[in-house]
Structure 1
């Protein structure tokens, strides 16, 4: 069986003996290699290609992962592992494939600590491997506090590293192009470390770790790091909505409770204050380009050019303009390779809140009461009093 690299989806229709159940399988990320690939399987009845992503019922809550398959080139070389999901179209009740009565689900994580930093428990399970991660000299590390513009920066950097070839940047989802280093999901999903180990150089590496927890190999290899910081109020609002829709993160509690948790640093990946200040101070010792979300919103072309210069890429204005358009919020919101719509709803429930929600500066005004804002500002002034770090909360 050969897959066309130009196709967005592979649909496999299977016949299941002794039951009136039919399964449709889809691969994600979609095959997008430079040459045809071979895929082996069993009980395959037919292989229609679905060129329109929206034609597939991919947002069904009945999706779950069943296995990973190896994708080889025509010479037998392993190219990648492909995640395979299934959707069960039930013709009777009671079949145990996560049907309408029992959709697949994952458990929300509990919180623990690593060196005093609150973090989800799955990270601690692979902490020795994360701490001893072997960075390569040409790795580019994209570091942020959660929901500070991570996906936006990954898309920008991927475009720059591919010389503005925006079509190539649609080859696979964000989480495949820039693996999340400390991600350690339940099987059969691969961990960030497993993804990175199989990647060719140069690699984009994503992390939310505070600077003191970053593996030493990044500093020993003098790797380039791009850090994006976002003003605390908007960051809190975005993180609150994200924790609601991300079915693997701990419950948020009420809005009022979440404000208290955020101010005290009792949220996954710890204190926003410690995070942004620690990375700000790291610029004195390491090759860190420190960017602000608000500056990117104000003049994206200017900031994209800064990133390109930092990466040693000389891009002409036409390329900068093309990247600016491709990485605009409106474009990324509709881009299935950037908006995380390739993840099933039992992981990212975008009916609760879209992954690409608003992408604005100042949305906090729609959430904070006057008293909540005053309380927040008091703690903010106290925590940032001894630093030169300054943020804008509106444009």
Structure 2
């Protein structure tokens, strides 16, 4: 992979071909009733919640798996399709749908960045449990900016001020942040098997949010297990853990930025100027149409 992909409009949502090349198989994906789907807008704590879910289901049962298989292979992205990183003349395409279908563990924990209107129908037909993780817009755009600087699966971000403008114009890979978080929030009203988690709540009280997740998933780990998970998913530990921090994923340039960067609430203040923040807030008021969905941009 030598060049960055172009962003293009795909049924009204910005995409790169890495997420649309396997579209038919993604849309026709056959979910199982016990599948757990983790849906997020990019850079909203996907890895954090994926790791918590993986530990809840398999930390005790399959401890050796935690020490040998990178998290992105245990909790695979459903819609992704990219050339295999194996060297050789015929590089097969790695497809998320195949990877998920090849998982031998049950339940399958699957992650997606798809907006709700692109969700494969079988997840709702099978009444799968869905966890949606959302993060405030200002921290999301900062995290996404750093991520797009280092991932070869997305267009290059350009400079910060034009990037911020593009975010406000909703010309992002996986589309508008506003549509994404609102679409899934509204789906929750009609789909009781959807649990909506806020990144800021997880930062504020990880133990409480793990309890809420267990309650939603019908799990009852011992208090020792929960303590162990809480310790294991501390941000600095995840950042150092090479099976969690994506450092073995070759389509990212770690010289530009770590994949797991800061994990703070309010880091946006180190990037936004006062004028940018005011302009963003005005724009936010126009775009966030649902008054019941409230975010915290600082703790």
Q: TM-score range by the shorter chain?
A: over 0.9
Aligned length: 289
Note the 1:243-254 alignment, pairs <5 A: 243-254=148-159
Partner SS for 2:20:
helix
Structure 1 residues 162 and 300 mapped into 2: Cα distance closer, same or farther (>3 Å)? same
Deviation at 1:168, TM superposition (A): 4.0
Maintained 8 Å contact 1:277/1:387: no
SS at match of 1:118: strand
Is 2:180 aligned against 1:275?
A: yes
CA distance in 1, matches of 2:239, 2:93: 24
The aligned residue for residue 209 of structure 2 is 303
Which of the pair has more CA radius of gyration? 1
Q: Which has the higher helix share?
A: 2
Q: Which residue of 2 aligns with 1:222?
A: 127
Corresponding residue number in structure 2 for 1:183: 80
2:6 counterpart of 1:110: yes
Gaps of 5+ in 2: 84-90
Question: Over residues 90-128 of structure 1, what are the superposed CA-to-partner deviations in whole Å (9 max), with x where a residue is unaligned?
Answer: xxxxxxxxxxxxxxx432111223321111123222211
Match of 2:98 among 160, 169, 194: 194
Q: CA deviation at 1:194?
A: 1.3
Instruction: Give yes or no for the alignment of 1:373 onto 2:277.
Output: yes
- Alignment-derived partner of residue 139 in structure 1: 35
Question: Cα deviations across residues 317-353 of structure 1 (Å, max 9, x unaligned)?
Answer: 2111110010110110111110011123xx2111100
Q: Supply the distance in 2 between the matched residues of 1:385 and 1:121 (Cα, whole angstroms).
A: 30
Match of 1:355 among 259, 265, 284: 259
How far apart, CA to CA, are the structure 1 residues paired with 2:18 and 2:260?
Answer: 25
Report the 3-state secondary structure (helix = DSSP H, G, I; strand = E; otherwise coil) of the residue aligned with 2:8.
strand
Checking the alignment, whether the CA contact within 8 Å between 1:280 and 1:290 is kept in structure 2 is yes
After TM superposition, the runs of 4+ consecutive aligned structure 1 residues lying more than 3 A away are: 163-168
Aligned match for 1:154, one of 31, 35, 50: 50
Residue in structure 1 matching 2:223, options 313, 317, 320: 317
**Normalized per residue, which structure has more strand?**
1
- For 2:290 and 2:298, how far apart are their aligned partners in 1? 23
RMSD, matched Cα: 1.4
Q: Deviations over 1:114-172 (max 9, x none)?
A: 32111112322221111111111111000000000000000000011125566542331
Please state whether the residue corresponding to 2:131 is helix, strand or coil. strand
Q: 5 Å matches for 1:332-343?
A: 332-343=238-249
Query: How many angstroms apart in 1 are the aligned matches of 2:202 and 2:121?
Result: 29
TM-score, normalising length: structure 1? 0.71
* Structure 1 gap ranges (5+): 1-104
Q: Of the two structures, which has the highest relative contact order with CA contacts closer than 8 Å and spacing of 6 or more?
A: 2
- C-alpha displacement at 1:237, in angstroms? 0.2
Stretch deviating more after TM superposition (152-161 or 167-176)? 167-176
User: Which residue of 2 is the match for residue 382 of structure 1?
Assistant: 286
